[in-house]
Amino acid sequence: MTQSTHDDQPTPEQQIALLKGQLAQAQKLTALGELVGTTTHEFNNVLMTILNYAKIGLRHKDTPTRDKALDKILAAANRAAKITNGILSFARNRSSGLEPTDLTRVISDSLLLLEREMSKYRIRVETQFESAPSALANGNQIQQVLMNLLINARQAMPQGGVILIKLGFDAAANTVELVVRDSGCGMAPEVMRRIFDPFYSTKAGPDASGKGGTGLGLSMCRDIIEAHHGRIRVDSSIGKGTAFTIKLPAAVIAPPIAPPSAVPAAIPAIQQSKSSASLAATTPIAGN
């Protein structure tokens, strides 16, 4: 009788990696379902615009009115195409490889998909884009992280507020820096210490929009960023808001920085923004 072997059985490490992949896919499908529910309302608004202006064009025979109706129909159709392309891009299973990725486009695509939700909950989104090279990243995965952070920020401001998205470049570290800051309720230090733990959540269940928390979101975000050889940290103060900072490797090698003695004295020092000093409590950067 042949003795059975267990050589073909997956190791515990392989099983954990498999389960992590399945959990990440389940999280993505959940986010996709929520996103489709949100954008369906916006798509219906676009269709109503097209229908109404088509009726106006049929009702009026004069050229100026018909031209205006056709312009409105064309604009609405273009917006509908952007929405559907954004959903398809988010849902598409791209390769796990890293490539030069324009984060401004990733941000724009994400904001387009969440535009109606932000407006509904009285959230104003501000952007500050500095000159930055492409990041060495997987665009689809970074969009998942950004969407998660934006939805979390919206949920932290039930009465409305402001989300600031900043994009910059740290030439010394050769990293592209993405910041998502909200003006919400903030987090206590004991919460921040566990915010990236798997299955940890401060949400009791779905909110009014139907979105809840499984505790997998931020843990998945950290795993994605670390797989990119990047870093993620959170800064927060009760009553002042929360900021997530992501640093990703740049797709190009930055030129060496001149030593301080070579910098002309006439160039003024860059002053720190007041808003960046408002979030005092800081957790250690994940991955350090």
Listed residue (175, 151, 173, 145) closest to 163, CA to CA: 151
Amino acid 19: pLDDT: 77
Domain at 99-257+277-282, CATH homologous superfamily:
Histidine kinase-like ATPase, C-terminal domain (3.30.565.10)
Based on C-alpha coordinates, what's the Rg of the chain? Answer: 23
C-beta of residue 131 within 8 angstroms of C-beta of residue 172: no
Question: Residue 65 burial by CB count (10 A; 0-12/13-18/19+): exposed, middle or buried?
Answer: middle
Q: What is the pLDDT of residue 214?
A: 46
Given this model, what pLDDT does residue 7 score?
58
Residue 85 has a pLDDT of: 76
The per-type count for the chain, helices as H runs and strands as E runs, is 6, 8
Into which CATH architecture does domain 12-90 fall? Orthogonal Bundle (1.10)
Residue ranges of the chain with pLDDT lower than 50? 1, 4-5, 214-215, 260-288
Cβ atoms 27, 218 nearer than 8 A: no
Bridge partners, residue 126, by sequence: 164
The predicted structure's pLDDT at residue 268: 39
Distance CA 21, CA 16 (A): 9
Give 10's strand partners: none
pLDDT of the residue at 86: 74
Amino acid at the residue 197: D
Q: Which of 84, 74, 148, 155 is nearest to 113 (CA)?
A: 84
DSSP string, 72-136: HHHHHHHHHHHHHHHHHHHH----S--EEE-HHHHHHHHHHHHHHHHHHTTEEEEEEE-----EE
Domain layout of the chain by residue ranges: 12-90, 99-257+277-282
Picking from 11, 27, 24, 19, the residue whose alpha carbon sits closest to that of residue 226 is 24
Q: Are 195 and 247 in contact (CB under 8 A)?
A: no
Q: For 46-97, write each residue's pLDDT tens digit.
A: 888 899 989 999 999 899 999 999 999 998 888 888 788 777 777 665 556 8
Q: Confirm whether 12-90 and 99-257+277-282 share one CATH topology.
A: no
